[in-house]
Amino acid sequence: MKRAMGLLIFVFFLQAGYCADQPDPYTWDFGKVKHGEVAAHSFTLKNNSKKALKITAVNTSCGCTVSGVKKKILLPGESTPVEIKFNSKGYSGDIQQFTYVNTDDIDNPVIRFIIKAHVVK
């Protein structure tokens, strides 16, 4: 019974998009990326507050990373994808880049998303 319950929980997490290697919804690890490839990932930003959330800007830590959002204003409960693309050209080894989503939320004005990769030749 315990084994069946564990399997059921594991299947639920797989279907929900969770993985032991990706426990943080603000971090994505691409693993190995070939030099010159463009790796892309879409995070989900959800407005969990009771008022509208305005996205004022989206910035990245490097010109090798491009990011954007579909919606600039999220009503309570709404979400939007945060698309991030990393161009591995000129990189090798472990990398970590950041995307900053600036909002009008006084308590959480900047939301940071992190991408990681190991660039191989």
Q: Give a three-class secondary structure readout of 9-23.
A: HHHHHHHHCCCCCCC
The verdict on pTM exceeding 0.75 is yes
Q: What is the pLDDT of residues 9-68, one digit of tens each?
A: 333 333 334 444 557 899 999 999 999 999 999 999 999 999 999 999 999 999 999 999
**What are the distances in angstroms from CA 109 to CA 4, 47, 66, 92, 104?**
43, 13, 20, 33, 6
Q: What is the pLDDT of residues 84-105, one digit of tens each?
A: 999 999 999 999 999 999 999 9
**pLDDT (0 to 100) of residue 22:** 56
